Structure 1
Amino acid sequence: MAPIVKVAVIQLYPKPMQLEHNFNKAAQFVRSVATQGAELAVLPEYHLTNWQPKSPGFFDLCDQWETYLKKYQALAKECGICIVPGTIVESHRENENEEDRLLNVAYFIDHDGEIKGKYVKKNLWGPEREHLTSSSRDVHEVFDTPLGKVGLLICWDLAFPEAFRELIAQGAKIIIVPTFWTLNDCNEAGLKLNPCAEALFLDSMLTARAFENTCAIVFANAGGPPGRGYAGLSQVVVPFVGALTRLGSCAEGMSVVDVDMQILEDAEDNYKVRSDLARDDWHYDYRHSKVKERL
């Protein structure tokens, strides 16, 4: 039989530009779920800074990324727990003549404080494209971790089934998605039809991706004060069942849940998605590109 993995999703309100405050709050949650036996704790995207790219000093805060990455490594070792610390926005410069580039990065840190995986956000949401650099055509990687083979995605990546296919084709069983997704990410036309359209999007896509990829999805989103558009809805989703746990739309909180990995094996036995992808004569390659006519 496949193992049972104890997973924690942590839903936080990231106070804008308050790195140390946000880290200390996150660390309290991580310590708490560790005492409950959680083997993995996942935090939201932008949980250290909130998304404030036009605020004075934002770039300076992003220069501190190594400091906080090391703090999370030390916390993982202290608590004996694997951590995906949401995302950390990193400022990078290739040389002194180049302007700073901002990368939105997720890490998988194991229970010994070692980095087992790193992923730079590929599919940037519209407003991010002015500020962040995408990982572009870099291949999605799968990482060997104490929990098995794990893939990392970030927020808007959820909208692209190709990203999931690339990961499960390499054997990923758990896909972790730190997110900063709000109800206000819907345009005016959509909000007129359904003020909760983005919540519907999240619940629908998370369920669909779990079924169509026979995988477990750990989704940690930001929550926040009512009336500010925070979507929350952090959840752990598996095929057949749907959400094993699902937090509310606004409040901060955490949930620890057992993920029976046998569910994934049973789902694959039924749907045979992975086995189809592994066939030599499989008819999709999941790489979309414009075909240029050769003269």
Structure 2
Amino acid sequence: MAPIVKVAVIQLYPKPLQLEHNFNKAANYIRSAAQQGAELAVLPEYHLTNWLPKDPNFIGLCEQWETYLKKYQELAKECEICIVPGTIVETHSGAEKEEDRLLNVSYFIDHTGAIVGKYVKKNLWGPEREHLTGSGRDVHEVFDTPVGKVGLLVCWDLAFPEAFRELIAQEAKLIIIPTFWTLRDCNEEGLALNPSAEALFLDSALTARAFENTCAIVFANAGGPPGRGYAGLSQVVVPFAGPLTRLGSCAEGMSVVDIDMQILEDAEKNYQVRADLARDDWHYDYRHSKKDQAANKGKL
């Protein structure tokens, strides 16, 4: 039988530009998770700074990224727990004559404090593109961790099934998604039709991705004060059952849940998605660019 993995999904309100306050709050939740026997704790995207890239203090705070990464490594070793510390925005010098780059990075830190996985957000949400550099055409990697084969995605990556397919083709079983997704990420037309459109998006997409990839998903989103558009809805999702736990739309909190990894084996036995992807004659082994589509039409 496959193992059971105990996971803590943590939903925080990132107090704007208050690194030490936000770290200490996250650390308290992580210590509590460890005391409850959790093997893995996952935090939201931008949990140290919130997302305020135009604030004159933002970049200076991001320059402290190595300090806080090391703090999480020390905390993981202290508590003997694996940690995905949401995302940490990092400053990096670009090539000659280029401006410094900001990268939105998620790490997997194991229970000894070692970094065993790193992912730079690939699919940037529209407003992020003015400030962040994505990982472009770099491949999505899968990491061997104490809780199994893990893939890391971030927020808007959820909207791209291709990202999941690339990970499960490498045998990822657990997909971890730190997120800063708000209800206000919908345009006026969508909100007029459904004020809860983004919540519907999250609930629907997370359940669909778990089913269609026979994987487990740990989704940690930011929460916050009512009326400010925070979506929350942090959850752990598996095929067959859907959400094993689901936090509210605003409040901070933590849920510790057991993931029976046997569910993934049973789902794959039923749906055989991974088996199809592994076939030599798999019929979706094409690229989505217009150039490649035109080339494929010429072969018909």
Q: Same fold (TM over 0.5)?
A: yes
Q: Distance in 2 between matches of 1:64 and 1:13?
A: 20
Q: Secondary structure at the match of 2:16?
A: coil
After superposition, give the CA deviation of every residue in 1:125-172 in whole Å (9 maximum; x if it has no partner): 000000000101000000000011000000000000000000000000
Q: CA deviation at 1:197?
A: 0.3
The one-letter amino acid paired with 1:28 is: N
After superposition, give the CA deviation of every residue in 1:14-43 in whole Å (9 maximum; x if it has no partner): 001000100000000000010000000000
The one-letter amino acid paired with 1:128 is: E
Q: CA deviation at 1:202?
A: 0.1
Q: Distance in 1 between matches of 2:145 and 2:246?
A: 25
Question: Does 2:119 align with 1:108?
Answer: no
Q: CA deviation at 1:288?
A: 1.4
Q: CA deviation at 1:97?
A: 4.1
User: Which residue in 2 is equivalent to 1:235?
Assistant: 235
The one-letter amino acid paired with 2:169 is: A
Q: CA deviation at 1:285?
A: 2.1
Q: Distance in 2 between matches of 1:55 and 1:286?
A: 42
Q: Distance in 2 between matches of 1:289 and 1:189?
A: 29
Shift >2 Å, 4+ stretches: 94-98
User: Which residue in 2 is equivalent to 1:161?
Assistant: 161
Aligned residues: 294
Q: CA deviation at 1:211?
A: 0.1
Q: Give unpaired runs (5+ residues) of structure 1.
A: none
User: Which residue in 1 is equivalent to 2:170?
Assistant: 170
Q: Distance in 2 between matches of 1:229 and 1:286?
A: 39
The one-letter amino acid paired with 1:48 is: L
Q: Is the 8 A contact 1:276 1:282 kept in 2?
A: yes
Q: Give unpaired runs (5+ residues) of structure 2.
A: 296-300
User: Which residue in 1 is equivalent to 2:298?
Assistant: none
Q: Distance in 1 between matches of 2:146 and 2:116?
A: 9
Q: Distance in 2 between matches of 1:46 and 1:90?
A: 11
Q: Distance in 1 between matches of 2:106 and 2:286?
A: 23
Q: Is the 8 A contact 1:162 1:286 kept in 2?
A: no
The one-letter amino acid paired with 2:209 is: R
Q: Distance in 2 between matches of 1:279 and 1:89?
A: 39
User: Which residue in 2 is equivalent to 1:8?
Assistant: 8
Q: Could you state the TM-score of these two structures normalised by the residue count of structure 1?
A: 0.98
The one-letter amino acid paired with 2:188 is: E
Question: Does 2:164 align with 1:150?
Answer: no
Q: Distance in 1 between matches of 2:139 and 2:102?
A: 19
The 3 A distance-change label for structure 1 pair 75 and 242 is same
After superposition, give the CA deviation of every residue in 1:83-115 in whole Å (9 maximum; x if it has no partner): 000000000003674311000000000000000
Q: Secondary structure at the match of 1:219?
A: strand
The one-letter amino acid paired with 1:265 is: E
User: Which residue in 1 is equivalent to 2:193?
Assistant: 193
Q: Is the 8 A contact 1:165 1:286 kept in 2?
A: no
Q: Distance in 2 between matches of 1:150 and 1:183?
A: 28
The 3 A distance-change label for structure 1 pair 173 and 286 is farther
Q: Distance in 2 between matches of 1:168 and 1:95?
A: 33
Q: Distance in 1 between matches of 2:122 and 2:100?
A: 18
Question: Does 2:274 align with 1:274?
Answer: yes
- Following superposition of structure 1 onto structure 2, how do residues 33-182 of structure 1 map, counting pairs within 5 Å? 33-94=33-94, 97-182=97-182
Q: CA deviation at 1:286?
A: 5.7
The one-letter amino acid paired with 1:205 is: A
Q: Distance in 2 between matches of 1:59 and 1:5?
A: 37
The one-letter amino acid paired with 1:75 is: L
Q: Distance in 2 between matches of 1:126 and 1:102?
A: 15
